[in-house]
Amino acid sequence: MHARVKWIENVTFLGESGSGHSVIMDGAPELGGRNLGFRPMEMLLLGLGGCTAFDVVMILKRGRERVTDCVIEIEAERAQTDPKVFTKIALKYIVTGRGLDPKKVERAVALSADKYCSASAILAKTAELTHTIEIVEENERAAN
């Protein structure tokens, strides 16, 4: 993998991925930023959410579950002193589908957390990660 971060001005940076995508990162106004983009630590949480959501959706689809949506809501706490690492991260999985088997959804979340999600493995070195699951039944009529 490859990534590149280029300083633009003040505390604004352009992040470029090896796959050809770009994102602006910026600091808070009180730190000299102009609030033009994500904070770098927010990017870590987004990476965690994307990594585990990818796993859960793929596992459920392979298990022939009729998953139609997956949202990960993340709340995090950071240490008060530098380095201000994440100390607690709560992930809420909201999985929508038709006739989803709760045991299969729980298994998919557990497999992601314990085996597949690299971001979870890294962040678990400093943070306590917790998971909750909400399963939403999609109404066939509402889906059409």
Domain that holds residue 116: 40-143
Q: How many CB atoms sit inside 10 A of residue 74's CB?
A: 15
Whether residue 125 sits in one domain with residue 59: yes
Whether residue 15 sits in one domain with residue 83: no
Q: pLDDT per residue over 100-122, tens digit each?
A: 999 999 999 999 999 999 999 99
CATH number at residue 8: 2.20.25.10
Whether residue 67 sits in one domain with residue 27: no
Whether residue 89 sits in one domain with residue 132: yes
pLDDT at 133 over 90: yes
Domain count, the chain: 2
Q: How many CB atoms sit inside 10 A of residue 30's CB?
A: 6
CA-wise closest residue to 56 among 68, 39, 46: 68
pLDDT at 139: 82
Whether residue 81 sits in one domain with residue 28: no
pLDDT at 144 over 60: no
Q: Tell me the pTM.
A: 0.92
Whether residue 18 sits in one domain with residue 30: yes
Whether residue 105 sits in one domain with residue 55: yes
* Residue 59 one-letter amino acid: I
CA distance 123 to 139: 36
